[in-house]
Amino acid sequence: MAAPLSRSMFGSLNTCYRCSSKPNKGLKFVRNIYFQTANYQRETFETPSSTKDAEKETHFGFQSVAEEEKEHKVYEVFENVASSYDVMNDAMSAGIHRLWKDAFVEKFSPSPGTKLLDVAGGTGDIAFRFLKYVGTPTFGHPGDDFQMPRDVTAQVYLDPAEASSSSSSSSSDEENGHKSEQAKDGNYATQPDTMGNHVTVCDINQAMLDVGKKRAKALGYTTGLSWVRGNAECLPLPDSSFDAYTIAFGIRNCTHVQEVLNDAYRLLKPGGRFMCLEFSEVKNPLLRSAYDTYSFQVIPVMGQLIAGDWKSYQYLVESIRQFPNQEDFAAMIKSAGFRMVTFQNLTFGVAAIHSGYKI
């Protein structure tokens, strides 16, 4: 095999080619052959790296983006829609999302004393339904005759600064049999309400959490509720620490769905239940066609009119189409280790409730 042209050889050829008043066809031919060979070698030896880079790509709606870029883009979407998120949900679904969430909590059917982790639940829709279901009292809410008992010590940690300022009470908490557990950012508490119920609301987006905190205050929930900001793929929370894990209309926005499921399994106690409410696949061709028309032609327009944001709602519609169908997602739940995995379609499969147990 002939030895490749050296850098010095090519340099002299290139110099002669540029300086010559009349291009030397022979040198030009050699130069082109060199470029073709070099490009071939570059493609050959860089194929593993290129393949590796391709493997790091994922989807953001119908776009292909780098994995690290998706998280940032999703964050921006929910940063933009946070203030109008609940209004848009009502408008887009004609209020049906409320019925879906009610059905979700009814199927969950939590018992008193349940310790729940609600992921991607920033605005509190599932958390507040849970607290209402298990009978957590509200304090200071207009129209409520219930008065806060003096012995209630549970707190809602709204910010890391507030959490750290309350650390001085941790010793008294332990004396009362309540051990305070904190996440790395200091905003996680496990103190239940007077009946032992507690929900930790987790979201990666601070704007969504802020909306939820305001709603909690307006509803009068001051016990049995805490907030933590974190990535669902690896939450800074202890192993085997929750009785139940819920995630509603959030998992499809995660970069690595399987890692979210794996972490859910880690966080649940043995016997704990995983539940997910997510948009799914409409099987009937006629209904699917009508649903697609509404999704792509109406929802982005409504996003622009109500929230002044076309692109974010266009992404939300596209993300639904990219999510695995009911059967495939159920298989992913099983792959995480869950057993007794089932799903129930809602509204012809527009949404579905998935359930599994850590056994």
Q: Is the pLDDT of residue 276 over 70?
A: yes
- Model pLDDT for residues 73-112, shown as the tens digit of each residue: 666 766 767 777 777 778 778 889 999 999 999 999 999 8
Backbone dihedral angles phi then psi of residue 60, each to the nearest 5 degrees: -125, 95
The pLDDT tens digits of the residues spanning 154-181 come to 333 333 333 333 333 333 333 333 333 4
Closest CA to 194 of 148, 226, 239, 160: 148
What predicted TM-score, i.e. pTM, was given to this entire model?
A: 0.70
pLDDT tier at 131, thresholds 50, 70, 90: very high
* 256-279: average pLDDT: 98
**Average pLDDT of the chain?**
75
pLDDT, residue 271, reads 98
| Least-confidence region, from 12-16, 50-54, 147-151 | 147-151
82 annotated binding-site participant: no
Residue 246 marked as a ligand binder: no
DSSP state of 83: G
Q: Inform me whether the pLDDT recorded for 141 exceeds 60.
A: no
What's residue 75's pLDDT?
65
Q: 151: annotated binding-site residue?
A: no
pLDDT of res. 91 = 75
Under the banding of pLDDT at 50, 70 and 90, the label for residue 55 is: low
- Has residue 6 got a pLDDT over 70? no
Q: Is the pLDDT of residue 49 over 80?
A: no
Beta-sheet strand order (sheet of 225-229):
225-229, 198-203, 115-119, 242-248, 268-279, 351-357, 339-346
Measured CA to CA, the distance from residue 262 to residue 15 in angstroms comes to 60
Burial 284-294 (b: 16+ CB within 10 A, else e): eeeeeeebeee
Which pLDDT belongs to residue 313?
82
* The pLDDT of residue 36: 41
pLDDT-derived band at 191, boundaries 50, 70, 90:
low
Q: What tokens were used for 299?
A: 């929802």
Look up residue 176 and give its two tokens: 């009362």
Using CA atoms, how far residue 306 sits from 241, 250, 298, 299, in Å, is 40, 22, 12, 10
Tell whether residue 123 is among the known ligand binding residues: yes
Instruction: Compute the average pLDDT of residues 219-231.
Output: 91
Tokens of 28: 């030009």
Give the residue, 61 or 226, on which the prediction is more confident.
226
For the cut 90, the answer to whether the pLDDT of residue 234 exceeds it is yes
What CA–CA distance (Å, rounded) separates 96 from 106?
A: 15
**Residue 286, pLDDT score:** 96
Determine the average pLDDT of the residues in 189-203: 77
